[in-house]
Amino acid sequence: MSGQASRRDILGGLLVAFALAPTAALAQTGGGEGSGGPPTVAPDLPGTLAKFPDLDAWIRIGADGRVTVFTGKVELGTGVKTAMAQLAADELDVAIGRVDLITADTALTPNEGVTAGSQTLEQSGTAIANAAACVRLLLAETAAARWGVAATTLFTRDGVVLDGQGRRASYAELAASTSLAVRARADVPRKPVAARRLIGRPVPRVDLPAKLTGLPSYVQDMRLPDMVHARVLRGPSSGTRLTPDLAALRRQPGVARVVEVGRFAAIVGPREWPLEQALRVANQGAWTRDAGVPALPPMPAGLLEMRRESSVIDTRRDASAAPGVRRLSARYDRPYLMHGAIGPSCAVALMAEGQLTVWTHSQGVEPLRTAIAELVAMPADRVRCVHREGAGCYGHNGADDVAGDAALIACAMPGVPVRLQWSREQEHGWEPLGPAMLAQIDATLDASGRIVDWRHQVWSNTHSTRPVAAGDLLAGVEVVPPFAPTPPKPIPQPNGGGDRNAIPLYRFANQSIVSHFLPDMPVRVSALRGLGAHLNIFALESAMDELAAAAGRDPVAFRLAHLDDPRAADVIRRAAARFGWSRYRPRPNRGRGIAFARYKNHGAYCAVALDVERIPDEGRLVVHRAVVAVDSGEAVNPDGIRNQVEGGVLQSLSWTAYESAGHDGARRTDYDWSGYPILRFADVPHSVVVEVIDRPGTPFLGTGECAQGPTAAALANALAAATGVRIRSMPLAGGLAAHS
């Protein structure tokens, strides 16, 4: 990665650039998660083709036969680059090695909003697969016209169109006389499943050889000529402000410059280490709590006392249902959680010739561009945001903020590339946390042991403060006069934010689901992988186990008895069978637990079974085995799905069992990995098995977040089975220790 690659370098000079839609058409819808981007203009086309229907927005073929694929989505470590290359190569019929992928770059790629919500393959993957199928057909039609035959008599093989009689023409030569600046057709069939060579196969990740051998792969690795380093000066955590001694910092060795814009301050110098030392000096300055930040009530009960906007998001009434005879009423909660990227946020920015370029690991380069343009008072078309990978983020962390910071510094130093690296302490202190949440479930069983009434209420802040305007960036409220943050709003169903997955997939006679949206944010919060699904599924699936026990039913059979979606039943049965559910031998302090969800009720189906032991006296827990069954619809890359789900299971075990981000009312209390411990090798399961149920020819179902909720509930359920103690508050290991 050269980082300074110009548009021409990136394209190798071989491809003509396509005209981007005018900026006005790119207005952000914003505030959402994984949506955004321009309006739909071609509703008959699938995925994001509906917004960018022209083929050359997605695919171009060079004179050397190389295929360049453009996606507005980004690689977050989930392997989507590989999946997209598979889709394009298979549908086009070229070797995967011939495909180059350009990911989110406001100057080059379709505006696909934010890469979030496990929607990348549904939106971008669907667009690319269908665009590739169209391009293949157009190339064949060019050959057909040239040879005077019907296109249907031709076939393709690895970048060549053939007529079976010895005539052949390469894609490269056909592309020279085939315009791709045309609308995709809605009626072009995808390749038949039996003819696929790459889709559905565990193709190795295209990006790993570079990453595993130390080739520069991350924004943190960018080193531009004459680049300077920067460190930003802030109080200990979000909601505080620092009064650094700027005069002393100017005298500090290695500090070439102090950039001050209102309250925003940063130090700049040629080398990193002296800046690190200067940062320590700066951090000795006094800090105060920002005025106007709401007080933090005691958690989690304080959530019930906060100002709220309540809405019934789902309701069902069946007057003929049998009366309830037994009742469960229980509260479940989780604390604030950190994203905790292993690499603290970083960005590189360069202001040159009136154009600001920002290299960023943001999940949404387009909304970020809008926010930065406002921050630095430049027209959006003079600002370019280019995605460069960072460490895994799992949601909205410091990525956007650091990009805003770097942009502000770069504008103060035209012509000089600036690399800004946040410290570990800054990432822990300033990243938006996953919101603390509380859910209450009230349910009744009829005399036959069926659930007849179900009420689920959830209290939560917003799950997205992703930037759509300057005031949403940390720097935006530090400049003077400050920009106003966008008021928080709930993410509507069917995706949902705090109420994501609050609506059960089970069939209950009567149900009422209530979302209590809490607009006041005492602690900075935003999207964390799975959003509200983590707590809602924890609550729902814990309650299902509690009700199964009350009804005297096996947890697997009890769930199946309340489901009428065969794919849901399938993942539960497969997980149970692979786990050996019916053969399981209970032992003292050891138990099994299962839980299920369909992510967002329209993404991947996932069931998780765990075998868990409590180590008496130590109050410690050991997860012996995790067995997962997942149905992602058509599995583009089964190993990629397994990798995501394994990771999701381990991450959710870490969140659910061990994590809690502290706050003492004035500031956060955890600034490094000693204050905020996460799962380590010593605590990972002995084995994790993920079974992928492939459904070729069916739509892709978002998978990246599907394991977070089921894992959390399966852990609580297994612990209850092992110990007889039902823990409804995360972190569960804390509750376990309290009962030991």
Partner 1 sequence: MIDLTVNGATARVDVDPATPLLYVLRDDLRLHAAKFGCGLGQCGACTVLVDDRPVFACLLPVGAVGARTVTTVEGLGSAAAPGDVQRAFLHEQAAQCGYCIPGMIARAEGLLRKTVTPTETELRSAMAPSLCRCGTHMRILRAVRRAAVMRGGGVVEPAEPVT
Cβ proximity of 532 and 501 under 8 Å: yes
- Decide whether 397 or 444 has the Cβ nearer to partner 1: 397
Question: What minimum distance in Å lies between the beta carbon of 736 and partner 1?
Answer: 20
- Binding footprint of partner 1, residue count (CB under 8 A): 68
| Interstrand relation of 451-460 and 510-517 (parallel, antiparallel or unpaired) | parallel
Determine the Cα–Cα distance for residues 16 and 179; give it in Å rounded to an integer.
11
Binding residue for ligand FES, selected from 31, 77, 274, 685, defined by CB under 6 A: 77
Instruction: For residue 731, state whether it binds ligand FES (rule: CB under 6 A).
Output: no
Cβ-contact 426, 236 below 8 angstroms: no
Segment lying near partner 1 (by CB under 8 A), choices 155-163, 419-427, 445-453, 545-553: 419-427
Chain mean position to CA 556: 30
Shorter beta-carbon distance to partner 1: residue 334 or 369: 334
Q: Which stretch binds partner 1 (CB under 8 A): 94-102, 143-151, 193-201, 682-690?
A: 682-690
CB of 163 to partner 1, least distance (A): 38
Rounded CA-CA distance 471/485 in Å is: 4
CA–CA distance, 659 with 652 (Å, rounded to integer): 10
Helix, strand, or coil (residue 338)? coil
DSSP E strand boundaries for 210-251: 228-233, 240-243
Binding test (CB under 8 A) with partner 1, winner from 178, 220, 360, 493: 220
Q: Which of 32, 77, 467, 504 binds partner 1 (CB under 8 A)?
A: 77
Start-to-end CA span in the chain (Å): 53
Tokens of 228: 């300077």
Query: Of 274-293, which residues contact partner 1 (CB under 8 A)?
Result: 274, 276
In sequence order, what are the beta bridge partners of 233?
265
What residues form DSSP beta bridges with 265? 233, 260
Q: CA 434 to CA 527: how far, in whole Å?
A: 6
Question: Exactly one of 680, 696, 697, 738 binds partner 1 (CB under 8 A); which one?
Answer: 680
- Closest contact distance (angstroms) between CB of 673 and ligand FES is 8
Nearer to partner 1, 182 or 227 (CB): 227
| Contact predicate 461/498, CB 8 Å | yes
Q: Between 320 and 674, name the residue whose CB sits nearer to partner 1.
A: 674
> Other CB atoms closer than 10 Å to residue 25's CB: what's the count?
12
Alpha-carbon distance of 8 to 204, in angstroms, equals 29
User: Does 208 engage in binding with partner 1 (CB under 8 A)?
Assistant: yes
Half-sphere exposure of 702 (CA within 13 A, CB side): 23
| Euclidean distance between CA atoms 498 and 303, whole angstroms | 13
Number of residues in contact with ligand FES, rule: CB under 6 A?
A: 4
Residue 342 in the binding site for ligand FES (CB under 6 A): yes
DSSP state of 123: I
Question: Which does residue 674 touch among ligand FES, partner 1, none (CB within 5 to 8 A, set by kind)?
Answer: partner 1
Residue 344 interacting with ligand FES (CB under 6 A): no
Provide the mask over 467-506, with x wherever binding to ligand FES is found by CB under 6 A and - wherever it is not.
Answer: ----------------------------------------
- Residue 650 binding target from ligand FES, partner 1, none, CB below 5 to 8 Å by type: partner 1
- What sign does the dihedral 371-376-379-383 (CA atoms) show? negative
Which of 102, 639, 669, 694 touches partner 1 by CB under 8 A?
639
Q: Binding of partner 1 at residue 646 (CB under 8 A)? A: yes
Residue (216 or 324) nearer to partner 1, CB = 216
Distance of closest approach, residue 437 Cβ to partner 1, in angstroms: 21
Q: Which does 688 bind (CB under 5 to 8 A by kind): partner 1, ligand FES, none?
A: partner 1
649 lies in the site for partner 1, by CB under 8 A: yes
Task: Please give the full DSSP string across 78-101, using - where no structure is assigned.
Answer: SSHHHHHHHHHHHHHT--GGGEEE
CB of 494 to partner 1, least distance (A): 27
301 contributes a contact to ligand FES by CB under 6 A: no
Among residues 35, 68, 78, 440, which is the contact residue for partner 1, using CB under 8 A? 78
- Residue 686 touches partner 1, criterion: CB under 8 A: yes
Least gap, CB of 585 to partner 1 (angstroms): 9
Q: Residue 571 corresponds to which amino acid?
A: V
Do the beta carbons of residue 573 and residue 699 sit within 8 Å?
A: no
Task: Please give the full DSSP string across 25-42, using - where no structure is assigned.
Answer: GG----SSSS--SSPPS-
What b/e string do you get for 277-294 counting C-beta neighbours within 10 Å, with b at 16 or more? ebbebbbeeebeeeeebe
Helix, strand, or coil here: 158? coil
Among 176, 312, 342, 615, binds partner 1 (CB under 8 A): 342
For residues 205 and 334, which CB has a smaller minimum distance to ligand FES in the complex?
205
Tokens of 111: 């505006």
Asked if 702 is part of the footprint of partner 1 (rule: CB under 8 A), the reply reads no
Among 35, 345, 360, 423, binds partner 1 (CB under 8 A): 423
Task: Answer yes or no whether residue 389 interacts with partner 1 by CB under 8 A.
Answer: yes
Distance of CA 607 to the CA centre of its chain: 20
Please report, as a single letter, which amino acid is at residue 252. Answer: Q
Alpha-carbon distance 379 to 382, whole Å? Answer: 6
Nearer to ligand FES, 35 or 708 (CB): 708
CB of 151 to partner 1, least distance (A): 39
CA 633 to chain centre: 19
**Pair of tokens at residue 698:** 């069916």
Q: Footprint of ligand FES on residues 378-417 (CB under 6 A)?
A: 391-392
Binding partner 1 (rule: CB under 8 A), the pick from 99, 313, 533, 679 is: 679
Q: Is 314 helix (H, G, I), strand (E, B) or coil?
A: strand
Neighbours of 130 (CB within 10 A): 24
3-state secondary structure of 418: strand
- Binding to partner 1 by residue 582, rule CB under 8 A? no
Q: Of 213 and 582, which has the nearer Cβ to ligand FES?
A: 213
Q: Which two tokens stand for residue 114?
A: 């934010």
Residue from 148, 164, 192, 213 that binds partner 1 (CB under 8 A)? 213
When CB distances are held under 5 to 8 angstroms depending on the partner's kind, the choice from partner 1, ligand FES, none that residue 423 binds is: partner 1
Please tell me the distance from the alpha carbon of residue 425 to that of residue 173, in angstroms, as a whole number: 55
**Contacts with ligand FES in 6-45 (CB under 6 A)?**
none
Place of tokens 């569960």: 732
Q: How many residues does the chain have?
A: 740
> What residues numbered 645-674 form the site for ligand FES, per CB under 6 A?
none
For partner 1, which is the closer residue by CB, 560 or 684? 684
Residue 372 structure tokens: 């930065």
3-state class of 563 per DSSP?
coil
Q: Give 155 or 673: the residue with its C-beta nearer to ligand FES.
A: 673
Strand partners of residue 385: 358
Out of partner 1, ligand FES, none, what residue 273 binds, judged by CB under 5 to 8 A for its kind, is partner 1
Strand order in the sheet with 264-269: 257-261, 264-269, 228-233, 418-421, 346-352, 355-360, 383-387
Question: How near is the Cβ of 213 to partner 1 at its closest, in Å?
Answer: 5
Smaller CB separation from ligand FES, 396 or 500: 396
Nearest distance, CB of residue 6 and ligand FES, angstroms: 30
Nearer to partner 1, 159 or 640 (CB): 640
Q: Which does 205 bind (CB under 5 to 8 A by kind): ligand FES, partner 1, none?
A: partner 1
Q: Please tell me the distance from the alpha carbon of residue 521 to that of residue 336, in angstroms, as a whole number.
A: 12
Could you list the residues that contact partner 1 (CB under 8 A)?
76-79, 202, 204-205, 207-218, 220-221, 223, 271-274, 276, 340-344, 389-392, 394, 421, 423-424, 580, 583, 624-625, 639, 643-644, 646-651, 654, 672-674, 678-682, 684-689
Could you list the residues that contact ligand FES (CB under 6 A)?
77, 342, 391-392
